[in-house]
Amino acid sequence: MNGEELSHIDASGRVRMVDVSSKPDTVRVAVAKGRIEMSPATCRLIAAGQVAKGNVLTTAQIAGIMAAKRTGTLIPLCHPLPLTDVDVRFAVNADAGVIEIEATAKCVGKTGVEMEALTAVSVAALTIYDMAKAVERTMRITAIRLVRKRGGKSGEIVLEEEE
């Protein structure tokens, strides 16, 4: 670490929810990315909407949005947030057998939306896996990460430049 204390640990070493009541409300935005890798044939089936369970990408998009909205109930010390927008997008490269997932979460609040963006990407990837596992069980979910965030006292943090 960089010399800072863990915010979810109190002076006695017990876990705690961080008290954000004195922080000002600001516009918060976070972008997360991840990917799911598979054979080109499976990727083509998904892109063409030909998987037996239905439209994989639309279902995964809805699942990611729903998951972002439930993040506070999934992660024990995460604050429930009044999200103002969640967007989940996919970039399919069928020749490489890769679906890139990007989620953006926004709110006006006292704490950031990184966990919501990361949860959206994670659940979208899991949904793709679930819907296509009958076709291919060797898919791999990889590279889930925060790529940028904005808002609060830390301002803008860019961990990856846009391509």
| Residue 130 bears catalytic tag | yes
Q: Which of 10, 85, 87, 130 is catalytic?
A: 130
Closest alpha carbon to 128 in 100, 104, 147: 100
61's tokens: 């998009």
Which amino acid is located at 121 in the chain?
V
CA distances for 121 relative to 50, 60, 72, 101, 113, angstroms: 22, 9, 15, 6, 13
Helix 56-69, helix 40-47: angle, nearest 10: 80
Quickly tell me which residue has 């609040």 as its tokens. 109
Catalytic residue ranges: 130
